[in-house]
Every structure is written in structure tokens, then in C-alpha cells.
């Protein structure tokens, strides 16, 4: 058996970011940059006023002075001349400061009359002027490659004059559920069968992770059916299988996909819930990555959180990493763990003091999908973790924050 960390490291090392595509700005939200975004202009492009008021020479801005107003410069309509001694120009927030001026008299510190303005409050040179390039200079790298784009990043890229952004293509994930006993929701259920929930739960998880899901038709329990179904994964970046329970997980998937050239790595992972994880590649070096998940719905989702989400993030252009986890405080004691890493479903609540307190559900049956859906946290228990008292620190994955 190998550890989760080792399996994840080996999995992620075998994956690469998808190639870049060009998207319009707003469509690029939540994608990962494939190239650095450099400023294409300087912002502000010139010295601009930070307030509504008047441009003048600081030397003229003494209390009581009366200046001639020789023009106005609304934003977008710069004043074309220069300001001389005893002169002022009406300005607004964002207006370019005219040539010759080095100070701004605030509107509320001025009294305007026909063609003149009286200074009520002495000005300071440079005050209320935003200098050219104060936000950014042309050529400066504003957003590095490999960063997921926030709404603020989109605004910044827009301000830097980028109508398009080069981002990694969404990883395309084909999903194949197998089993004689399963039916899709709303379809006739075979005798002794159950509804297949895995394919659509995984499709939603793929979306949450920033991938495009492609749900393939259910493959019945034969090598031939599985080989045929795998044809539907052509062009995808990864094929995810979830085994039928009528035979051992992967027992038919591996030979079925082998008919299409699967070269397989197969790992027994010291974890719970979960079972052996299958990883491989169909079609040689440049072929499609294959990840085999368990058929049990709870095990499939937990394994998807631990392995598939990081895999999609990696293919989407982010660094190889474990799923985001954070510290929380145990609300109730936990017994010592055995040799397998455990992922206890539980409920986390943050108190008014900001401390996140988590309690494991008393029942951890991996058949209970309803309980899994009610959880908002997975408590991570390392192999051989000793018993932990209430109040002890544990690491948790916040399911509610990941959309999963």
C-alpha cells in the first residue's frame, strides 16, 4: 500500500497543463492565465486630479487669492492650453492636470464667480494629484502566468488594455460509469439494480474544479462494452471510470480499456473510504490519462476530492497541490486511527470568535450518500493518528467552499 501523498504526487507528475486558448475578457473569469499579463499602457496615463476643483500654480494658491478661470477640463476633454500666473482651470475627478499647473484647489475650498474663483484655503503643491503611472506603468507584469483570474484581475487586465487573454483550455473529462445493475435517473431500473449517481455527481465535481465534463453512456459489465464505451473519450484530457459493484472494482475496466491500449499503474492506497485507485494512459505518451475510481458513491466522491480535483487544477494550469485544507478545532474527541488515512464526514461551525469547530458524524458508513451531502467538512486523519481530545487541532477540507 502507498500513501495518499505518494499516489497524488505520482498522479500529478504525469499530468500537464492544457494548451492555451484566447478568450474575451469576461469569459476568462476563473480560468488560469497561460502567459503573464503585462500593462499595455500607463495608468493613469498622465497626472490627473483626484478630486473636483481647480488646477492652478501652487504659488498662486494662497488664501484670499482671486484667479481667472480660463477654461474647464472634464474627464475626456483635456484642457489644451497651459496655465499661467493668476490663472485656474475647472477640473473634475480624473481630469488631466493642465500644463503649468502643479496644485489642485478643492471645490469645497473655493468660491466661484463669473470667470473667477476665490481661494478660501491655501493649496499644497502636488496635493490631490494622482501621478502618471501611480497605479501601473506600461510594461509592468500585472498578473503572472498560472494564476486563476478573479473579477478584480479581469478589471485590472481591462484597465491594462487587454481585450483578450490567453488562458489554459478547460480540461475535458470523460466520465464512464460501468455496471450491469445501474440505471440513470428516470430510466427503468434493472431487477436488483440501483440508480447510478456517480457519473452526474462527478460531472458536477468536474465543473466545480473548472473542467468540462463529458458523461459517457453506462457500460455494461463486459470487456467489449467497456472498450466500446471508451471510444467516447477520444479528444478528452482524462477518462474517469467508476466501477460497477457487481464485480470487483476495475476487474473488467482494466482489461476492457487494455483493448484500447491502456497501460496501467494500479495502486493500493492506505485510505478510507476508498479502494485501490487505478491510474494509466491509453494511446501512448500523448494519449489520454485514465483515472479509475471506486464504484461506491461515497468512496468515489472522496477519492475524486483527493485525486481528481487536484488533477483537474493541474491540467487547468495551476501548480500541483493537494486540495485546499485548513485547521479546525475538534468539538468532540476522536479515537486513534489505524494504518489507513481516514476522511471523516462531519459538520463544521465557526463561532463568533472566528474559531472553526468540527464534529465527526457518529456514523461513517460509506454507503450513506445522504449523510455525505449533509457534511460540510472532511476531517483528515493521518495513518496511526493518536486519539485526539476535544479542542485538539485537526486538518479539514471545507466541502461547502469547494462547491462539492
Cell (9 digits) for 80 = 489644451
Q: From CA 207, how far away is CA 309, in angstroms rounded?
A: 10
Instruction: Decide: is 190 part of the binding site for a second copy (CB under 8 A).
Output: yes
362 binds a second copy, rule: CB under 8 A = no
Dihedral of the CA atoms 85, 86, 90, 91 (nearest 10)?
A: 40
268 binds a second copy (CB under 8 A): no
Q: What burial class does residue 363 get, using C-beta atoms within 10 Å of its C-beta: 0-12 exposed, 13-18 middle, 19+ buried?
A: exposed
**Closer to a second copy at the Cβ: 356 or 382?**
356
Question: Rounded to the nearest whole angstrom, what is the least distance from the CB of residue 204 to a second copy in the complex?
Answer: 4
Residue with cell 510594461: 139
Q: Which residues face 175 on adjacent strands?
A: 215, 240
Residue ranges in 112-131 that form contacts with a second copy under rule CB under 8 A = 130
The residue range among 15-23, 199-207, 253-261, 266-274 that interacts with a second copy, by the rule CB under 8 A, is 199-207
Distance of CA 36 to the CA centre of its chain: 17
Q: Which member of 153, 172, 237, 342 binds a second copy (CB under 8 A)?
A: 153
Q: Report CA-CA distances (Å) from 21 to 18, 24, 111, 140, 163.
A: 9, 10, 56, 23, 14
User: Could you tell me which of 371, 389, 274 has the C-alpha nearest to residue 8?
Assistant: 274
Which three-class secondary structure state does DSSP give residue 324? coil
247 binds a second copy (CB under 8 A): yes
Query: Closest separation between CB of residue 361 and a second copy, Å?
Result: 13
CB of 276 to a second copy, least distance (A): 14
Helix (H) or strand (E) holding 380: strand 377-381
Rounded Cα distance between 90 and 86, Å, is: 14
> Do the beta carbons of residue 315 and residue 15 sit within 8 Å?
yes
Out of 20, 55, 119, 160, the only residue in the binding site for a second copy (CB under 8 A) is 160
Is position 299 an interface residue for a second copy (rule: CB under 8 A)? Answer: no
In the region spanning residues 366 to 385, those forming contacts with a second copy, defined by CB under 8 A, are 367-373, 375
Task: Find where cell 492506497 sits.
Answer: 269
- Cell triple for 194: 440501483
* Residue 207 sits in the site that holds a second copy (CB under 8 A): yes
> What would the x/- binding string for a second copy be over residues 36 to 75, using CB under 8 A?
-----x-xxxx---x----------------------xxx
Binding a second copy (rule: CB under 8 A), the pick from 16, 234, 384, 401 is 401
Identity of the residue, 152 or 284, whose beta carbon is nearer to a second copy in the bound complex: 152
Applying CB under 8 A, which of residues 13, 161, 222, 319 lies at the interface with a second copy?
Answer: 161
Select the residue interacting with a second copy from 64, 115, 186, 284 (CB under 8 A). 186
Provide the minimum distance between the beta carbon of 363 and a second copy in the complex, in angstroms, as a whole number: 10
- 326 touching a second copy, by CB under 8 A: yes
Q: Give me the phi and psi of 148, to 5 degrees please.
A: -75, 130
Interface pick for a second copy out of 124, 194, 336, 387 (rule CB under 8 A) = 194
Residues 9 and 267: their CA atoms lie apart, in Å, by 12
Q: Is 92 in the site for a second copy (CB under 8 A)?
A: yes
Q: Rounded distance, CA 61 to CA 71, Å?
A: 17
Query: Smaller CB distance to a second copy: residue 142 or 262?
Result: 142
Binding to a second copy in span 128-147, by CB under 8 A: 130, 134-136, 142-143
Amino acid at each position: 500500500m502507498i500513501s495518499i501523498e505518494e499516489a497524488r504526487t505520482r498522479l500529478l507528475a504525469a499530468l500537464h497543463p492544457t494548451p492555451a486558448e484566447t478568450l474575451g475578457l469576461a469569459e476568462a473569469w476563473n480560468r488560469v492565465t497561460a502567459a503573464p499579463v503585462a500593462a499595455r499602457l500607463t495608468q493613469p496615463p498622465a497626472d490627473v486630479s483626484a478630486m473636483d476643483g481647480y488646477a492652478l500654480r501652487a504659488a498662486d494658491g494662497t488664501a484670499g487669492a482671486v484667479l481667472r478661470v480660463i477654461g474647464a477640463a472634464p474627464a475626456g476633454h483635456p484642457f489644451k492650453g497651459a496655465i499661467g500666473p493668476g490663472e485656474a482651470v475647472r477640473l473634475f475627478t480624473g481630469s488631466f492636470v493642465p500644463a503649468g499647473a502643479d496644485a489642485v484647489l478643492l471645490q469645497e475650498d473655493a468660491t466661484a464667480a463669473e470667470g473667477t474663483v476665490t481661494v478660501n484655503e491655501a493649496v499644497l503643491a502636488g496635493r490631490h494629484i494622482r501621478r502618471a503611472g501611480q497605479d501601473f506603468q506600461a510594461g509592468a507584469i500585472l498578473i503572472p502566468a498560472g494564476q486563476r483570474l478573479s473579477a478584480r484581475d479581469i478589471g485590472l487586465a481591462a484597465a491594462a488594455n487587454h481585450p483578450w487573454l490567453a488562458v489554459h483550455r478547460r480540461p475535458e473529462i470523460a466520465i464512464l460509469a460501468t455496471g450491469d445493475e445501474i440505471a440513470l435517473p428516470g430510466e427503468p431500473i434493472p431487477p436488483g439494480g440501483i440508480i447510478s449517481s456517480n457519473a452526474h455527481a462527478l460531472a458536477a465535481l468536474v465543473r466545480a474544479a473548472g473542467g468540462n465534463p463529458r458523461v459517457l453512456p453506462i457500460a455494461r459489465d463486459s470487456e467489449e462494452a467497456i472498450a466500446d464505451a471508451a471510444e467516447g473519450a477520444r479528444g478528452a484530457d482524462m477518462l474517469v471510470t467508476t466501477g460497477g459493484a457487481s464485480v470487483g472494482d476495475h476487474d473488467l475496466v482494466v482489461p476492457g480499456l487494455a483493448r484500447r491500449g491502456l497501460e496501467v499503474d494500479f495502486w493500493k492506497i492506505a485510505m478510507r473510504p476508498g479502494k485501490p485507485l487505478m491510474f494509466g494512459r491509453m494511446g501512448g505518451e500523448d494519449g489520454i490519462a485514465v483515472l479509475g475510481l471506486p464504484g461506491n458513491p461515497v468512496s468515489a466522491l472522496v477519492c475524486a476530492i483527493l485525486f481528481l480535483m487536484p488533477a483537474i487544477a493541474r491540467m487547468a494550469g495551476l501548480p500541483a497541490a493537494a486540495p485546499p485544507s485548513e485547521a479546525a478545532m475538534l468539538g468532540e474527541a476522536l479515537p486513534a486511527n489505524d494504518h489507513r488515512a481516514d476522511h471523516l464526514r462531519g459538520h463544521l461551525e465557526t463561532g463568533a470568535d472566528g474559531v472553526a469547530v468540527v464534529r465527526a458524524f457518529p456514523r461513517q458508513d460509506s454507503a450513506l450518500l445522504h449523510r455525505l451531502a449533509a457534511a460540510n467538512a472532511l476531517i483528515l486523519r493521518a495513518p496511526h493518528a493518536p486519539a485526539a481530545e476535544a479542542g485538539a487541532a485537526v486538518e479539514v477540507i471545507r466541502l461547502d467552499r469547494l462547491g462539492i
